[in-house]
């Protein structure tokens, strides 16, 4: 994975921890936790690959799982170490490493996994395949994982609110629908890969996974960043209801393919690809 990506995440580690606590980004967190509750086993070892500063690791530890966090950015790993200690939580391991090489983790040693982040930033298909094959290798046969992607169909919608000026340039808008947005291009937060739901599912299946569920984690509120912020500020009780409804409905067909973040629940097939 690119050093550009490592540098990006090392520059403001605390922001990544705080991001999932902001009104709009909480949708991603709550929807993902719902997927975990519905599809992960009640106990066991979990690999949090691309776990950043440890937000999901902390939630998994609170639920009684044993967790190994792996992240490309050393700043994220050190932040996670300090934050977990502050919270009185202890992971099995916190490792700075690339999702494409998990050779330090034993084969078939995890009961479930998260791969939230790496697939956003692996711009070459062979890199994404390597990460998925490593994920498959460390999972026990039949074990579930949640794999996250950035969905350009959802970005096209959210852009109407987040960067409406871009739509004056049709060519620039069409770039949002390209599979990969390279570092330095307009609107890419760093070196990034945008995959549509069919593209994401095809890559997962080719790597030896069965697809159980896909969810658009921002749900029916996708693209409504400013409106969600206003509701959260003006009517916190209403916001909490919206949050609950987003999580409950994120895997409905009407929403699952039209949000910025696509999370796919997969299971490792026993037959190697």
pLDDT in tens, the chain (273 residues): 578 788 877 788 888 889 899 999 999 999 999 999 999 999 999 999 999 999 999 999 999 999 999 999 999 999 999 999 999 999 999 999 999 999 999 999 999 999 999 998 998 999 999 999 999 999 999 999 999 999 999 998 988 888 888 899 898 888 777 766 554 444 456 778 889 999 999 999 999 999 999 999 999 999 999 999 999 999 999 999 999 999 999 999 999 999 999 999 999 998 777
CATH number of 3-267: 3.40.50.150
Hunting for tokens 């400013």 — which residue is that?
A: 226
Q: What is the pLDDT at residue 192? A: 82
What would the pLDDT profile of 230-260 be if each residue is shown by its tens digit?
999 999 999 999 999 999 999 999 999 999 9
Which pLDDT value is given to residue 179? 63
The residue whose two tokens read 């794999």 is 147
Residues 155 and 257 sit within 8 Å (Cβ to Cβ): no
Residues with Cβ < 8 Å from 137, sequence gap 6 or more? 102, 107, 108
- Write the CA distances from 8 to 5, 108, 133, 195, 270, integer angstroms: 5, 32, 25, 21, 37
Chain centroid to CA 1: 16
CA atoms within 13 A on the CB side of 6: 13
Q: What is the pLDDT of residue 51?
A: 95
> What is the pLDDT at residue 4?
77
Please tell me the distance from the alpha carbon of residue 126 to that of residue 104, in angstroms, as a whole number. Answer: 21
pTM: 0.93
Place of tokens 């170490």: 81
Closest CA to 223 of 266, 269, 159: 159
Q: What is the pLDDT of residue 159?
A: 87
- CB neighbours of 129 closer than 8 A, spacing ≥ 6? 203, 206, 207
Taking the alpha carbons of 35, 37, 40, 45 in that order, is the dihedral positive or negative?
A: positive
Question: What would you report as the CA-atom Rg of the chain, rounded to the nearest whole angstrom?
Answer: 18
* Whole-angstrom distance, CA of residue 47 vs CA of residue 135: 9
């Amino acid at each position: 994975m690119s050093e550009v990506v490592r540098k990006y995440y090392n520059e403001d580690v605390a922001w990544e921890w705080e991001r999932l606590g902001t009104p709009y980004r909480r949708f991603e967190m709550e929807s993902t936790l719902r997927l975990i509750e519905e599809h992960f086993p009640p106990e066991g070892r979990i690999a949090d690959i691309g776990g950043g500063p440890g937000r999901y690791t902390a939630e998994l530890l609170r639920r009684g799982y044993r967790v190994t966090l792996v992240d490309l950015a050393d700043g994220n790993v050190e932040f996670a170490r300090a934050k977990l200690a502050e919270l009185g939580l202890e992971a099995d391991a916190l490792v700075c490493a690339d999702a494409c090489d998990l050779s330090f983790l034993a084969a078939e040693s995890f009961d479930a996994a998260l791969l939230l982040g790496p697939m956003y930033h692996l711009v070459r298909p062979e890199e994404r395949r390597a990460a998925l094959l490593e994920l498959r290798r460390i999972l026990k046969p039949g074990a579930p994982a949640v794999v996250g992607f950035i969905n350009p169909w959802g970005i096209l919608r959210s852009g109407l609110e987040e960067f409406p000026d871009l739509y004056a340039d049709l060519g620039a808008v069409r770039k949002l629908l390209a599979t990969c947005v390279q570092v330095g291009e307009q609107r890419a937060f760093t070196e990034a890969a945008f995959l549509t739901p069919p593209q994401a599912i095809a890559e997962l299946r080719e790597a030896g996974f069965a697809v159980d569920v896909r969810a658009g984690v921002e749900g029916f509120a996708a693209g409504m960043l400013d409106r969600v912020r206003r509701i959260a500020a003006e009517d916190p009780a209403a916001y909490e209801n919206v949050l609950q409804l987003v999580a409950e409905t994120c895997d409905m067909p009407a929403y699952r393919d039209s949000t910025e973040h696509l999370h796919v629940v997969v299971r490792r097939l026993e037959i190697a690809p």
